[in-house]
Structures are given as structure tokens and as C-alpha cells.
Amino acid sequence: GTGCRVDDAEEVAALADAANHEGAWSGAPRVLGASKTTLGHCEGAAGALGILKALVECTVSTVGPNVHFATLSPLIGTTMLE
């Protein structure tokens, strides 16, 4: 994403919609993470980096923190993540 508050909220809403589509992940915990905060803008490698990050995090059963993250945007809200 662009890192702006409005775009981030739209991205989370789209992810929540996809996750809730026909109960795909009903009841399963969901975690959001980002690699851009750690490694910067990778442009062409962004998709590969996202997949690699997800594979590593699934392997070690933990999600690394986002650098400089302090509070969730009020535009997102926790109900989008439920």
C-alpha cells in the first residue's frame, strides 16, 4: 500500500472481505504484517518478498512487528479484523 491512512483502511477492508468470503477463514485467527517497514520499497520484488515473509512466519509460528507501528488507524477499527 501507499502508507496513507485512507488507502490502508481500504486495503484492510478488501482483505477482510476476501477472508470472510463464504466463511473461508471463519473462526481462524488473522494477522496482518508488512515487510515494507523493515526492508523498504522493493517494487518488482514486493510480491516475492511478501510470499517469503509469509512462509517464514508460518514456519516459525510468529509474525514480526512492524517498525514504527504504535496504534491502529481509527479508520480501520478492530471490527474489520474480526
pLDDT in tens, 26-62: 666 777 777 776 666 667 777 788 888 888 888 998 8
CA distance 17 to 40: 27
Q: What is the pLDDT of residue 24?
A: 65
Tell me what percent of the chain is helix, strand and coil, each rounded to the nearest 5: 55, 0, 45
Residue type (1 letter), 75: L
CA distance 72 to 31: 13
User: Of 24 and 66, which is predicted with more confidence?
Assistant: 66
Q: Considering the entire predicted model, what is its pTM? A: 0.57
For residue 34, give the DSSP letter: -
CA distance 73 to 70: 10
**Residue 67: alpha-carbon gap to chain centroid:** 13
